[in-house]
Amino acid sequence: MRTVKVSLGSRSYRIRIGDDLLDVLGRECSRLDLGKRCAVITDTRVAPHYADRILRALGAQDFHPRLIVIPAGESSKSLPVVDRCYQELSDHRLDRQSFVVALGGGVVGDLAGFVAATYLRGIGFVQVPTTLLAQVDSSVGGKVGINLRSAKNLVGAFHQPKLVLTDLRVLDTLPPREFRSGLAEVIKYGVIWDPALFRLLERSMGKILSRDRAVLARVIARCCDIKAEVVTQDEQEGGLRAILNFGHTIGHGIEALAGYGRYLHGEAVAIGMVAACRLSHALTGLSRDEGARIVNLLKQAGLPVSVQLTHPRRTRLFEILSLDKKTSGGRPRFVLAHRIGHVLHGQEVPPQSIADTLASLSGSEFNSLATPSRPRSRQQPCPPAGKENDVQRE
């Protein structure tokens, strides 16, 4: 079992990564200072596989869990589902010592975390992520939330879990498309922080896609390490943490445009990363070669790297971007790469560059960025190196 520590003072916690950890959930929870009543929130896709094991593991240590099964899919990250969970917690008489276990992917974790963050002004919360995406990203760092009709994750809280239990064997039952979706976030960590991880992914994508557990354990632990490091430095996204949003500004926009659930999160982020690479090439000096490597790695992982958008859809997407949470003073801010392992956050991008990039997304080749914007963009000075927005790890 590998352990990654997230150091946040009184809110510190451990991420346990290994095989067959579901069965030790009760034992791990009994080491925390928690009451006996709890709720397990999971969804209709995960419950048939793992709910019984989780309930048994908790029951064996005298916990009294209430099982709450929500409909699978992004549309469950909504206020009506939150309301239903509150009622179940109240019916089961959860008190301030009680806790919530999130058994599932990012949707379950975000929703259950928001419920735990706000029920009785915040109760304990344990993450048992069952998708690759949740294991490397959403279960770590304490961002929880739900969607509004107008935008994704517009409502939420920072609420750190007490424990993250990552069982590698649950990935065996993960559908291939879900697995690939998680790889988008894995690749993102290489781009934003760690060229060595990026090269490992380039070398080992075959093994990863065949779900070689030894490689996966190494990759997942490294991703959690990176996220823990970033979150420790900037828990509430005052600055550095924004780099985790590489590819997410346009990615979230594409999800909202298509209707939540049409694209998996990682698929939308993959397209968003391609867009971010094109903007990075135009504005922050990402080389054509490295841009192409990123696009190729996404393709190797079986992720989409292009999307057909009619002109009216692009206009609508542009509007959605203006409402993005990462907006400051009405202008969207982007995370852009200087090279693999080195990104800059808080980048303002000229509206014309955004429009050109959206127009270019129907092509999958890296060099398909509409040429007219490049000469103009090149005249934009790169942000000076060494400033607070400058992040580098090699």
State which residue, 158 or 318, has the beta carbon closest to its own copies.
158
Active site residue 143: yes
Question: Are 337 and 280 in contact, with CB atoms under 8 Å apart?
Answer: yes
Task: Name the nearest CA neighbour of 11 among 158, 179, 171, 174.
Answer: 158
Active site residue 14: no
Of the chain, the end-to-end C-alpha distance in Å amounts to 26
Active site residue 36: no
Task: Name the nearest CA neighbour of 314 among 254, 247, 376, 374.
Answer: 254
For 363, how many CA atoms within 13 A lie in the half-sphere containing its CB?
13
Element (H, E) at 220: helix 213-233
Active site residue 241: yes
- Quote the tokens at residue 45: 């896709």
State which residue, 148 or 355, has the beta carbon closest to its own copies.
148
Between the CA of residue 54 and those of 26, 64, 163, what are the distances in Å?
Answer: 8, 12, 15
Catalytic residue among 147, 153, 245, 389: 245
Q: Closest distance between its own copies and the C-beta of residue 96, in Å? A: 7
Active site residue 149: no
Q: Which residue has the tokens 């790169």?
A: 382
Catalytic residue among 74, 185, 255, 267: 185
Active site residue 5: no
Q: Closest distance between its own copies and the C-beta of residue 31, in Å? A: 19
Chain residues that interact with its own copies, rule: CB under 8 A:
35, 79, 82-83, 86-87, 90-91, 93, 95-97, 114, 117-122, 143, 145, 148-151, 154-158, 236, 322-323, 325, 327-330
- Quote the tokens at residue 310: 């009619």
State which residue, 144 or 274, has the beta carbon closest to its own copies.
144
Q: Closest distance between its own copies and the C-beta of residue 177, in Å? A: 29
Catalytic residue among 143, 180, 281, 333: 143
Q: Closest distance between its own copies and the C-beta of residue 335, in Å? A: 16
For 91, how many CA atoms within 13 A lie in the half-sphere containing its CB?
11
| Those residues with Cβ within 8 angstroms of residue 361's Cβ, 6 or more apart along the chain or in another chain | 271, 274, 275, 306, 307, 309
State which residue, 86 or 318, has the beta carbon closest to its own copies.
86
Catalytic residue among 180, 188, 222, 248: 248
Active site residue 265: yes
* DSSP-derived secondary structure letter, 87: H
Angle at 239 between CA 235 and CA 240, to 5 degrees: 75
Q: Closest distance between its own copies and the C-beta of residue 379, in Å? A: 28
Catalytic residue among 121, 149, 311, 387: 121
Catalytic residue among 66, 152, 180, 227: 227
Q: Closest distance between its own copies and the C-beta of residue 121, in Å? A: 5
Rg (the chain; Cα; Å): 21
State which residue, 329 or 386, has the beta carbon closest to its own copies.
329
Active site residue 185: yes
Q: Which residues are catalytic?
A: 121, 143, 185, 227, 237, 241, 245, 248, 252, 265
